Structure 1
Amino acid sequence: MTDAVNVHPLVSPWGRFGLYSFFIDAPEPAVVDTGIASSPAEGMAPALEAIGRRIQDVRWILLTHGHIDHVGGAYALWELTGRRAQVVIHEADAPLLRSRHEHAAEYLAGRGRYLGDPAGEAKVTAAANAVISGEMEPTLLVRGGETLSLGGDVTVSVHAVPGHTPGSVAYVVDGQRSVFVGDAVQVHGAANGFPGYTDPAAYRTSLEYLRDEVRPEHLYLGHPYRRADGTPYGVELDAAQAREAIDQSLAVEGRVTAAACGCLEAGLKETDSRYSPFAPVAEHLGYTGDPTLEPSPFFTSMHGYRTRNQNV
């Protein structure tokens, strides 16, 4: 039987968020997600040195999805490995790694339609320029179903879990069901207090797939996502906590879906509410968070529901 592969969290702060990356201590070491531009040199390198590992020896950079706080440090980390690491991302999210401009385009096509901020595009562009260390072509594009060899008998399987983004994936260390999901399990959201997903139906299907098929023994989240009482989950969840987090995520999604569908069926109305035109959703759910704070998960998700109902 294969010895357990150790996983080391690499946590770095960024504004209101905690950014979680993870070091898989395999013969060909891997880092899952990369934080922002400063994360590899200022956070990862000293953390790895403290456990007797070198950032130069990383041979795999596994990206769960394309958002700036997950791919921002990819180019910098790749450089620190002497450009020897393989950079892996789902083909649907690869444009976000290749081009900073794609992040502004995503903003304008989705949540930016509701925020009413004439400087919004400029702000997103400035953020992308500041926290994305470089545009780059990935080494390996995946779709889900692939198996990656990390040397010796250590393999990682790739599972498509779309919903948060079209190209969200989970990486699973085979044999021990250590599962890295990025932002595919949101529970009650992170600092904004609301779950964010671009495709609600895909998000739910992916949660069910993780619960019923993948069945994590160890679940690693991309941020300190929160329970109903506001307390955050830790960096690593055991099997029981993983099941709880996934079940809670499904329950939250069900309530949001009911509220959003009711709002859409009644007809969207522009008001002076900061949640307009989805004010009834916030009222129904008792959501009082600030929907304008990036990454604006309230409007991201509401636009996802609206997109699925093309007649609205």
Structure 2
Amino acid sequence: MTHEVTIHPLVSPWGRFGLYSFFIDAPEPAVVDTGIASSPAEGMAPALEKLGRSIEEVRWILLTHGHIDHLGGAHALWELTGRRAQVVIHEADAHLLRSRRAHVENYVAVRRQYLRDPNGVAEQTATAQAVISGELEPTVLVRGGETLSLGGDVTVSVHHIPGHTAGSVAYVVDGQRSVFVGDAVQVHGAANGFPGYEDPDAYRASLTYLRDEIRPRHLYLGHPYRNADGKPFGVELDTEDSHRALQESLGLEERIAAAAHRHLRDGLRETDSVYSPFEPVADELGYTGDPTLEPSPFFTTLHGYRTRFAAGR
């Protein structure tokens, strides 16, 4: 690259929260992540107009992973580009773009056994119907290692960074080390105060890879994740904050792993606690947040350690 491309955050409303996408102002413009069904029309389009750009110009839709608040708006955005944009996702998360039902099945496979909400499946089904704009076959399936040309001399390299989900990826604007990671760097979690990842081993390895190999100059997060004091980092991190976010993510994962292994070894007991059967882990970590707050990162993460322990890893 001979010059740095400009990157703009695009914030879309969702209740009391904002959902973050990013516009890469390249010759073939790209949007990283798409929020939910309403995000392209209500958030992205007006934000791009203020920049003197049009949503119809977007030629790449780069999805960091398959959760609804990142791909829910993909079909709507694709339609607004005149169906000209290429939609990119890792093959391991592609089923979540192709099928609303896949999101419900993810809930049933893990979270339902801990949340025990008799209305949970119906609520998940309704949510998927409401916030996923449409089922969509991806244009480009990636595994990691690919290079995407955004026109001119602008290229983006794809790096597989599983852990948060099996198909999480980082998109790196080559030559300027601007790195988009979606939710793959959780630090101390978002408003729920607990980091969420499906596979602890993969999460740790991906954080180490980002810190030691990618070494972001600019790190773009999917949400304003919190530091140890509960203060948000924001979503656009410079080199120093990038390194700190990665270090704190690794440090907290180490603490959670130690507590989880200790109590898994001693055996889990069902209790009346909202944290059951992981109440001793929550106590040791001093976690007092609401573990039922969807997408329930406390249970998703602890289930990952439980699965690993059961497999003897």
1:229 aligned residue = 229
1:223: Cα distance to partner?
0.4
Q: Please give the alpha-carbon distance, in whole angstroms, between the structure 2 residues aligned to 1:173 and 1:239.
A: 15
Within a 5 Å distance, the mapping from 1:21-60 to structure 2 comes to 21-60=21-60
Deviations 1:35-72 (A, max 9, x none): 00000001000000001110001000000000000000
Within a 5 Å distance, the mapping from 1:57-76 to structure 2 comes to 57-76=57-76
1:286 aligned residue = 286
1:257 aligned residue = 257
Deviations 1:229-278 (A, max 9, x none): 11101221000000000000001111111111111101011011110000
1:13: Cα distance to partner?
3.0
2:189 aligned residue = 189
1:310 aligned residue = 310
8 A Cα contact 1:60 1:86, kept in partner = yes
8 A Cα contact 2:13 2:43, kept in partner = no
1:82 aligned residue = 82
8 A Cα contact 1:172 1:179, kept in partner = yes
Give every structure 1 segment of 4 or more consecutive aligned residues whose post-TM-superposition deviation is greater than 6 Å.
Answer: none
- When structure 1 is superposed on structure 2, of 265-274 and 10-19 the one drifting more is 10-19
Identity of aligned residues (%): 77
2:18 aligned residue = 18
8 A Cα contact 2:261 2:309, kept in partner = no
2:133 aligned residue = 133
8 A Cα contact 1:17 1:191, kept in partner = no
Deviations 1:110-153 (A, max 9, x none): 12210010111111111110000000100000000000000000
* Partner SS, residue 152 of structure 1: coil
1:292: Cα distance to partner?
0.7
Q: Normalising by the residue count of structure 1, what TM-score does the alignment of the two structures yield?
A: 0.98
* Partner SS, residue 310 of structure 2: coil
1:311: Cα distance to partner?
5.6
Q: Please give the alpha-carbon distance, in whole angstroms, between the structure 1 residues aligned to 2:259 and 2:141.
A: 37
Shift of the 96–27 alpha-carbon distance from structure 1 to 2, 3 Å rule, reads: same
Q: Please give the alpha-carbon distance, in whole angstroms, between the structure 2 residues aligned to 1:15 and 1:188.
A: 22
Q: Please give the alpha-carbon distance, in whole angstroms, between the structure 1 residues aligned to 2:256 and 2:262.
A: 10
Q: Please give the alpha-carbon distance, in whole angstroms, between the structure 1 residues aligned to 2:20 and 2:281.
A: 30
1:203 aligned residue = 203
RMSD: 1.0
- When structure 1 is superposed on structure 2, of 256-265 and 16-25 the one drifting more is 16-25
Q: Tell me, yes or no, if structure 1 residue 93 matches structure 2 residue 112.
A: no
Aligned residues: 312
